[in-house]
Amino acid sequence: MTSKAKIVSIANQKGGVGKTTTAINLGAALAMRGKRVLLVDLDPQGNASTGLGISRETRGRSTYDLLLADAAAADIAMTTDVDNLWIIPATMDLSSADAELMSSTRRVMHLKNSLRSRSTPYDYVFIDCPPSLSLLTVNAFVASDTVIVPLQAEFFALEGLSQLLLTVREVRSSANPDLRVEGIVLTMFDRRNNLCLQVEDDARQNLGELVFHTKIPRNVRLSEAPSYAMPVLNYDPTSRGAIAYRSLAAELLQRNETSQVAHV
């Protein structure tokens, strides 16, 4: 039993940029390399849960209980069809969690308290954040060691990113001084699209090593896999999407081993 998992938020306040796809497939890729991975579905829409085949009827205790009922992660985590990959599913009651947290004096500390207060058997915990910078996301940042930001290479992507980085800095100057940005990963990348190339150039120029070398291509297999309730790594292991997420996992492990975590 390891006592300290590395906790990573996958966040971007924009919806549809690849957060859930990254959480599922990066998580699965690390699990397939023998890491013990827990996915925490912090989006009331529950896409990560559905995408891993946890149907609404089978969801028992959920992220809501982790946040507001002091449940222990390892007690409520559900197994998935992928060895070494567990998930705490999201249920609809998570949508009222924001309002309930608001009335708590330690409102930003709830997730940290439940994820950090007990030793857990995981090497990595990935938190799939909702598409907002709400109290749920702030709870995720307070609980995390690092943040991974999926960035869809499109117009205005970098503007949204500055706001996100501002929130990271705010959390760092208050509840979690150790919070770092792990990296920014370009998603749905199409190298025949000039705008994609331009956003990549801008991102690498402004953010340097903070941008992962691995880019996730636009790949239809990635969008099909959730309807078969599996990560793309199982659905089509040789697809470009699967190759990219395996490469991202390798890059993350390499960064962690050389502890190249940048400061912004």
Q: Which residues bind ligand ADP (CB under 6 A)?
A: 15-21, 47, 131, 187-188, 216, 218-219, 222-223, 226, 241
Q: Which of residues 34-63 bind Mg ion (CB under 5 A)?
A: 43, 47
Query: Three-class SS string for 33-73?
Result: CCCCEEEEECCCCCHHHHHCCCCHHHCCCCHHHHHHCCCCH
Contact string (CB under 5 A) for Mg ion, positions 9-28, x = contact? ----------xx--------
Cβ within 8 Å of residue 241, ≥6 positions away: 25, 216, 217, 219, 221, 222, 225, 232
> For residues 95 and 256, which CB has a smaller minimum distance to Mg ion in the complex?
95
Closest distance of CB 104 from ligand ADP, Å? 26
d(CA 55, CA 4): 30
CB 49 within 8 A of CB 89: yes
- In the list ligand ADP, Mg ion, none, the entry touching 60 (Cβ below 5 to 8 angstroms by class) is none
| Of 15 and 208, CB closest to Mg ion | 15
Q: Which of Mg ion, ligand ADP, none lies near 77, with the C-beta cut-off 5 to 8 A by kind?
A: none
Nearer to ligand ADP, 71 or 161 (CB): 161
Nearer to Mg ion, 120 or 235 (CB): 235
Binding partner of 76, given ligand ADP, Mg ion, none, CB within 5-8 angstroms per partner class: none
Q: What is the DSSP string of 214-233?
A: --PBP-HHHHHGGGGTS-HH
CB of 235 to ligand ADP, least distance (A): 11
Please give the DSSP secondary-structure letter assigned to residue 133: -
Are 69 and 93 spatial neighbours (Cβ–Cβ below 8 Å)? no
Q: How far is the CB of 245 from ligand ADP (least distance, A)?
A: 9
| Residue 244: HSE in the Cβ half-sphere, 13 Å Cα cutoff | 21
Closer residue to ligand ADP in complex, CB, 184/222 = 222
Q: How far is the CB of 256 from ligand ADP (least distance, A)?
A: 23
- Strand 78-79 with 85-88, pairing: antiparallel
Give the Å distances, CA to CA, from 253 to 10, 69, 218, 258, 259.
Answer: 16, 33, 23, 9, 9
Cβ proximity to ligand ADP: between 139 and 219 the closer is: 219
For the bound state, the minimum distance from the C-beta of residue 17 to ligand ADP, rounded and expressed in Å, comes to 4
Radius of gyration of the chain (CA): 17
Residue numbers at the binding site for Mg ion (CB under 5 A): 19-20, 43, 47
